[in-house]
Structure 1
């Protein structure tokens, strides 16, 4: 049997209201050579029954999998990676959907260039969009600050362009399955798992293409991580880039990747986003004073561990770019 060129990986947990629309968006455009893996992570609503019904409606189109007990998003994605047979992997959250033409656009890029990674843009999908959302650019969000098209073999530019936008989610990056060796998986039990994992995967990419076209509709829900922040989430955000910073330093020390000031600034910039976001919760949450101080010290230590620039150097770099508000937020968060 010929291996599929693409595996679309869909983890499912309590998304009964959204799952059919998600899977239909893939089925409607998935031709030969696309496998669709759907894993129920022990849902407590009707998601699993709906999966079975949809598989019966679309015979032979879905590969269904199940976890006996809930293990979380990272573990679900890891199980899907292990089961996938496609040359490329595309993670799709089960409350989102692929936009028309997404798979055709991806296939065209893969046929012509065969890159290790393909990056795409997205739209923010709201049930009641307002004019202010359009003014924020939610009808087309860019995920990469770099040249469109490709292919490019400049890994520093790939990583810098990724970190500068801060759009580190897995579902806007299609990667070769070969990048996911046995040593690279999503961290079970942690929040901000995409930020912790996708830069590591792309550090291994020898070539990439960027399609500045929205291929994914990201559903904005009130239960998102940032809208329901807790101390464990804040600390996971704070340390999300630590493993990548260590891997990047090792690659530069071994000569596998030339040191790049642009990449170093981009990593410091994303590290500052993590610092400011985590510190905002720590400073404003109703925490015992001793716990607040310990958390603030940990957040500052995490920044120092993975930012190539210290706070003062990054604030000066912001000022040179005229980013006065960013400089002020950074200094206020570390005061």
Structure 2
């Protein structure tokens, strides 16, 4: 289904939908309340088994918000659903909104105006994570802490020029997209207001209990592909400091997960392999002072010490599985 779109669209927001009909109206309503008038919404129904298509169609019929609904016959996953949505976009800037989340009514107007003023390739804002237990606000400027695409606006011509897309069939697709945008960008701007409201869903694919091992190996696949793309794009060695920080940070944070000692060592050895393969330690010496880089350098070859750190992290029950 298509609505009549304004000739000049400032922002296109892609909303991929799968099995979230109970949240979809709240999500779309937050877009209908935006103060930015020249906004289009592209809803990609990813062969959702619920009534999401009917909910989206009914909302589009009753709302003045320009909504295009793309109804897929086959489930393609979040990454490809976003790519398909991007292919339909007409806006000067691109935004992404997950269908179980919502946004503040000022988000896109504020960020679009700022992007125009600064001639930014992308802009990010803070976000709020909410659940039945309350709300927590975050405002990370460092890209390693700010990898979600949903709290950002990307200049569409910039995305097209550098052929940035979401890697199909992988978890952590946001991370690859955001890092590519960070490393290609000439100007990026961050603002602190937590305009994006992220629903903490314990049943999400990356948050289900016992999913840490799956996440670990999915991250290995995603990061391996990302490093290949960095090399192919000729961004290395310029991007070496950021890549080194990212790899070391992820390796160190695995100490807090519920994976076995064997799986943890696999991840650390894989990280060291990537660092050596792409000669990341030959980059900017200043990154060596980074907490995660220095910690990884100190402990990666001292497995006995890593074992003790693992126990201190409170994961002793998973150390010998």
TM-score (normalizing by structure 1): 0.75
What SS class does the counterpart of residue 7 from structure 2 fall into? coil
**Cα-to-partner distance string for 1:237-269 (whole Å, 9 max, x where unaligned):** 23332344445564244xxx3765xx3663244
**1: CA distance between counterparts of 2:193 and 2:298?**
29
**2: CA distance between counterparts of 1:276 and 1:66?**
41
**2: CA distance between counterparts of 1:258 and 1:51?**
41
1:237 counterpart = 2:219: yes
Alignment of 1:204-223 (within 5 A): 204-223=184-203
Structure 1 counterpart of 2:309, from 328, 331, 334: 328
Alignment of 1:168-247 (within 5 A): 168-181=147-160, 183-224=163-204, 225-228=206-209, 229=211, 231-247=213-229
Structure 2: gaps of 5 or more residues: 1-5, 282-287, 300-304
Shift of 1:329: 4.3
Task: Kindly report the root-mean-square deviation, in angstroms, between the aligned alpha carbons of the 2 structures.
Answer: 3.4
Structure 2 counterpart of 1:115, from 109, 115, 120: 120
**2: CA distance between counterparts of 1:28 and 1:141?**
23
Shift of 1:106: 1.0
**2: CA distance between counterparts of 1:239 and 1:301?**
14
**Cα-to-partner distance string for 1:244-299 (whole Å, 9 max, x where unaligned):** 4445564244xxx3765xx366324433246446xx44307xxxxxxxx5x55642
After TM superposition, the structure 1 stretch with the greater mean CA deviation from structure 2, 70-79 or 57-66, is 57-66
1:54 counterpart = 2:59: yes
Task: Tell me, yes or no, if the aligned pair for 2:126 and 2:194 is still in contact at 8 Å.
Answer: yes
1:19 counterpart = 2:24: yes
Structure 1: gaps of 5 or more residues: 145-160, 285-292
Alignment of 1:233-272 (within 5 A): 233-248=215-230, 250-253=234-237, 257=238, 260=241, 263=242, 266-272=245-251
Which residue is equivalent to 2:129?
Answer: 124
Structure 1 counterpart of 2:105, from 97, 100, 107: 100
Structure 2 counterpart of 1:304, from 258, 262, 272: 272
**1: CA distance between counterparts of 2:157 and 2:228?**
21
**2: CA distance between counterparts of 1:171 and 1:272?**
24
Task: Tell me, yes or no, if the aligned pair for 2:170 and 2:222 is still in contact at 8 Å.
Answer: no
- Aligned residue pairs total 288
What SS class does the counterpart of residue 222 from structure 1 fall into? coil
What SS class does the counterpart of residue 270 from structure 1 fall into? helix
Shift of 1:230: 5.7
Shift of 1:180: 2.6
Shift of 1:82: 1.0
Which residue is equivalent to 1:142?
Answer: 139
